[in-house]
Structure 1
Amino acid sequence: MVQQTSLTAPAPLICFQGNCAGPNPHGMTGTLALAQTLAASLEIPLQTLGAPGQALSGSWQQMLEAVTPDFVSLGRYLEKTLSSGKRPVVTMSRCAGALATLPVIARQHPEACIVWFDAHGDLNTPETSESGYLGGMVIAGAAGMWDSGLGNDLSLAHVILAGAHQLDPAEQALIDDKRLLHLPPARLSVEALRRAINGRPVYIHLDCDVLQPGVVPSDHQIDGGLAPETLAELMAALAGEDVVGMEIAELESHWPNDPAPADLTVLVEILMPLARRLLADEAPCAR
């Protein structure tokens, strides 16, 4: 049975059920399914935050206004969890939720690097975004390139963009200017990632669309992504680093036109070395 905890005793496994400006509700049901599976597998409590609702429509400004109250609550709970000495694992429906989490990580662990697994760069601003999608502006917002109202404490120099291969011109320009480190799929290996981390504490963000199409349902299925075994190897290696927390986003509960819930076995197997270390208080894996 999955046990939920009260806010007076922060649980390190956090499921943010609220809307993260997604185009459909399947991310909200997907994030809960993943969190419940992890909680049951590890026999640990689960804290749920926010309430699932309908998909949002409108401009990025309208979406940001709608989600901000819940994002503020998420940030406060994460800060409380980190301050208690715990290393949280957060599931959220869409990567826009990191507008709330990244500034908190940057304040609580200013020396940490962010390993951002994603098919996209998420480095756009409202001025450079071609789509106007809030999730595509996350890192830029947390780094103060535009004002989300949720914090701008992150330094781009602390970001390792891992697996991104669908980049807009403005995002590529930031990479070319060496404002942050980019490890595209062809250059992303355990050795390259360890060199990039260089002994620093690590916070991990995983957008499930970094995986090759057909592994798990996500709003974007993009050719050229990481094979499951590649991501599993990287996650196992990261379990040997000083990981201060992890978040997972962009997982949908169902494949299109399939009423049956998606099988999350492969994703859970990929995550388990890190999740077990963070949530079950195991010692770091040997390199």
Structure 2
Amino acid sequence: MLATRLSRETGLPVQVVGTAGKPLAADWTIELPAAMPGLRLLARELDRALSEGRRALTLLPRCAAGLATLPVISKRHPGAAIVWFDAHGDCNIPDRTSTGYLGGMVLSGAAGMWPTGLGAGLTLDQVILVGSRDLDRSERELIDAGRIELVECGPDLADRLRTAVAGRPVYLHIDCDVLEPGIVPTEYQVPGGLTLADLGSVCDVLAGFEMVGMEIAELEAVWPDGAPAVLDPLIDALRPLVDALTIGAHPI
């Protein structure tokens, strides 16, 4: 749905990578091997696009697909700030995860803290968590130790994020559960999130930096009662970045 809307607004074609499959809802030891062919294909397509000087506008069903995208970004743009909007920290590792959830181990995997089979290259000091509030103990420890930066929700969010980026090129990840519950349907609803006004203000700020690319994940098509997602307000908030990425460019 989102790809169709963005394609209509930007005039850019939709490129589908991989084939949809039935969700496994299983431990990471089962999900990662099952997803590996699609993840490797995604990594190859992204690497090819970036090698051609293109910018990336990528829509992901799950944050776990970042295991494929982040090593490519790290290789092609090693100095980029990875601005990670997510209600969760996504920095667990296999021997410290309480859930076995693959999407909760993306940043740590891309940073080589456990072997994903998809490469690494990311350093945690490149990562800026934004709006993360449902954090596990091990993730809190990384933040408290200064190994990864957290920009919390609250007043002056856009200004605090501008300071954290510090002039670097930006690759942006948006897990839609970073938003306050009730704005768009997501599987996880965590109170205390960003409003659309918050998101719009940070998009205005980030559009002023060199944008390497953006990925959007974890958007559900319908609410639990079957009502369809309304995408216009979300697209309006993202518009500064969509324009920054697509005007005069050929994203994937």
TM-score (ref. length: structure 2): 0.96
Amino acid in the other structure paired with 1:280? I
- Corresponding residue number in structure 2 for 1:270: 237
SS of residue matched to 2:96: coil
Give the alignment partner of residue 216 of structure 1, picking from 184, 208, 214.
Answer: 184
Name structure 2 gaps, 5 residues minimum. none
- Corresponding residue number in structure 1 for 2:3: 35
Which whole-Å CA distance do the structure 1 matches of 2:10 and 2:245 have between them?
Answer: 11
The yes-or-no answer on 1:145 pairing with 2:116 is no
Aligned-CA RMSD value: 1.2
> Alpha-carbon deviation of 1:281?
2.5
Contact kept in structure 1, 2:211 and 2:244, CA below 8 Å? no
Which whole-Å CA distance do the structure 2 matches of 1:187 and 1:85 have between them?
Answer: 37
The yes-or-no answer on 1:162 pairing with 2:130 is yes
Give the alignment partner of residue 254 of structure 1, picking from 217, 222, 228.
Answer: 222
TM-score (ref. length: structure 1): 0.85
The yes-or-no answer on 1:53 pairing with 2:27 is no
| Runs of 4+ with deviation above 3 angstroms | none
The yes-or-no answer on 1:76 pairing with 2:44 is yes
Contact kept in structure 2, 1:163 and 1:188, CA below 8 Å? no
Name structure 1 gaps, 5 residues minimum. 1-32, 283-287
Contact kept in structure 2, 1:185 and 1:226, CA below 8 Å? yes
> Alpha-carbon deviation of 1:39?
0.4
Which whole-Å CA distance do the structure 2 matches of 1:57 and 1:110 have between them?
Answer: 33
Contact kept in structure 2, 1:115 and 1:202, CA below 8 Å? yes
Which whole-Å CA distance do the structure 2 matches of 1:187 and 1:128 have between them?
Answer: 33
> Alpha-carbon deviation of 1:261?
2.6
- Corresponding residue number in structure 2 for 1:109: 77
- Corresponding residue number in structure 2 for 1:10: none
> Alpha-carbon deviation of 1:187?
6.3
> Alpha-carbon deviation of 1:221?
1.0
Which whole-Å CA distance do the structure 1 matches of 2:158 and 2:190 have between them?
Answer: 22
Which whole-Å CA distance do the structure 2 matches of 1:81 and 1:162 have between them?
Answer: 27
The yes-or-no answer on 1:280 pairing with 2:213 is no
Which whole-Å CA distance do the structure 2 matches of 1:188 and 1:152 have between them?
Answer: 33
